[in-house]
Amino acid sequence: MNISEQVANIQNEMLIVGAIYKHPDLLVEYSQYIKSKYDFYDEVTRFFYDNAEIIYKKRSQTFNKATITTFMTEDNNRLSLYKKYGGWNTIESWNKLAIIDDFKNYYEILKKYSLLREYQRNGNVVEKIINHPKFELFSATDIYRLVRGKVDRINTVILTNEESEILNKDIIKMVNGCLEKPNMGLKTPYAMWNDLFRGLLFQTLLVVGMLSNAGKSRFMFKLIAYITLIMKQKVMVFLNEMTIEQMRFCLLTTVINNEEFQQANGIKLSKKEKDITLGLYKNDNGDYIYREKNEWDEFTETIDEYIKRVQENSSEYRNVIMVSQWIESETDGLIYAKDISTAYDDRSLEFEIRKANLVHGIRYCFYDTLKDDTKNIGDWSGLKVTTTKLSELVKQLDIFCYASIQLTDDTNFVKPDELSSSNIANCKQLKHVVDVLLLFKEIKKNEFNKYKYLASNSDWGEPTLHELDENKRYYIATVDKNRYGSKKRLLYEVNLDRNTWYEVGEVFRK
């Protein structure tokens, strides 16, 4: 056997590919680290691996004979190689050999031989390593340590897929690049967010905290609706408190009542979520339309007859249907949601975020509500570990992540403009990990006279101070951390029944 053949383990490459075709979700965790150009010595295993990546990302996450064969037949050159390499029979034989639980070991062996080949290509002698009596026990890292002095750069590319960079390089290019394209994130419906945080920037973890039942999920859905319906960007929503059905009701209520969406769809309407969930609609005289019953309280009208009568007599109902149709057409394939209430441990959460990014190309993720890993419930350090994992993921995947979090019960006794990270339930230390932290609390009616807010004035042209309106409901959002600029206290006009949230200005204590 020549040295080139010694620096390869084709049997292991078959096991890697066989395991992937048997359990394609392995690609979510490992595809970022496997680089077929370096890692596969054999052209056959490289061919099947490369096509597995394409199928998983672009076509289907279910691998079977029909899916694979259909994909292969779509390109003549690809089909020719597929037949040459044995087609589905080859995949099936590798599937039988592979053991999913051993994939981590397969991966380690793959990287070990990949490193050796790169060392050899760069002029290093690898025979002594291969002939070492404990070679089979060596990991890729062990081999790296043996030749560390000469090959740091090779190890960086092969093992971590990262390269160190010279910091004081290309600074002028960076400055001029900002002239061409300012470093701004996605626009939001809140002007002060766009100013303070530069919109929704990638590689950012933004956390919003509120008391229980104060509307943190509802506020989040205003932002989700804007990103998808107005900005036409895909989002992934992870839920461990709200159900998918509750989310749909919240989304519909948000779009019906907020001005941003009324301007886009041309339907001006005001409707409480409670009325929608109870099926209550008024006729054009302002009276609710009820399903007909007899004296024994039995329905005498079929549901189809009732719907038809409501449709004929209620313009309100017809408008709600038109808004619903608008949402469905405008957000087709843009909003993905997953209920993770039964599995929100760190590993599962990371897997779902990576899969959303890999398969659907999603770069805006929302998590409601941020909690401890299921193994660490009640342990503040567990919540910090989860938050740290999210912070790492937004950097690695170049995405934006929004997470809602609950404030402590004793926050009830804190003034809304005096909130800080100390009021976060379980873990004030997560402030050190996040990029932006906003803490919301309602102002009590009897304290309206203590505040004024600064907002633009069309008459004067310059921002002026305004009194709070006694007929409205207000929340203060304290920017407790902001890596991108200053920290202010923002004022929001809120109606939870209709889920309207309007940013009215910067608030000050008198």
CATH class of 3-160: mainly alpha
Cα–Cα dist 186/503, whole Å: 17
Per-residue pLDDT, 138: 78
Higher pLDDT: 108 or 424? It is: 108
| Digit-coded pLDDT (tens) for 8-62 | 899 999 999 999 999 999 999 899 889 898 899 999 999 999 999 999 998 899 9
Torsion sign, CA atoms 198, 200, 202, 206: positive
pTM over 0.85: no
For residue 202, give the 3-state DSSP assignment.
Answer: coil
pLDDT more than 90, % of the chain: 61
| Angle, CA 406 vertex, CA 244 and CA 418 arms, to 5° | 140
Per CATH, the number for 191-509 is: 3.40.50.300
Give the range with max mean pLDDT: 163-177, 264-278, 445-459. 264-278
Higher pLDDT: 370 or 438? It is: 438
- When pLDDT is cut at 50, 70 and 90, the band that residue 231 belongs to is very high
Tokens of 218: 């509802």
- Among 133, 152, 208, 99, residue whose Cα is nearest residue 492: 208
* Residue 484 pLDDT exceeds 80: yes
Q: Looking up tokens 């890292």, which residue turns up?
A: 141
* Residue 162 pLDDT exceeds 60: no
Least confident of 150-154, 239-243, 394-398, 446-450: 150-154
Cα–Cα dist 179/300, whole Å: 69
Per-residue pLDDT, 374: 54
- Among 339, 368, 330, 343, residue whose Cα is nearest residue 234: 330
Residue 173 CB neighbour total at 10 angstroms: 8
Helix then strand then coil, in percent of the chain rounded to 5, is 50, 15, 35
CATH 1.10.860.10-classified regions of the chain: 3-160
Give the range with max mean pLDDT: 158-162, 418-422, 460-464, 499-503. 499-503
Per-residue pLDDT, 165: 59
Cα–Cα dist 379/372, whole Å: 7
- When pLDDT is cut at 50, 70 and 90, the band that residue 365 belongs to is very high
CATH 3.40.50.300-classified regions of the chain: 191-509
CB contact burial 340-362 (16+ within 10 A = b; e otherwise)? eeeebbbeebbebbbbbbbbeeb
* Residue 153 pLDDT exceeds 60: no
* Residue 438 pLDDT exceeds 50: yes
* Residue 425 pLDDT exceeds 70: no
For residue 160, give the 3-state DSSP assignment.
Answer: helix
Per-residue pLDDT, 3: 45
Q: Specify burial of residue 450 (Cβ count, 10 A radius: 0-12, 13-18, 19+).
A: middle
- When pLDDT is cut at 50, 70 and 90, the band that residue 460 belongs to is low
Per-residue pLDDT, 266: 95
Cα–Cα dist 272/183, whole Å: 39
Q: Specify burial of residue 232 (Cβ count, 10 A radius: 0-12, 13-18, 19+).
A: exposed
Tokens of 244: 């998918």
Residue 500 CB neighbour total at 10 angstroms: 21
Cα–Cα dist 434/394, whole Å: 11
Q: Do 23 and 102 contact (CB within 8 A), yes or no?
A: no
Per-residue pLDDT, 458: 55
| Digit-coded pLDDT (tens) for 191-206 | 999 999 999 999 999 9
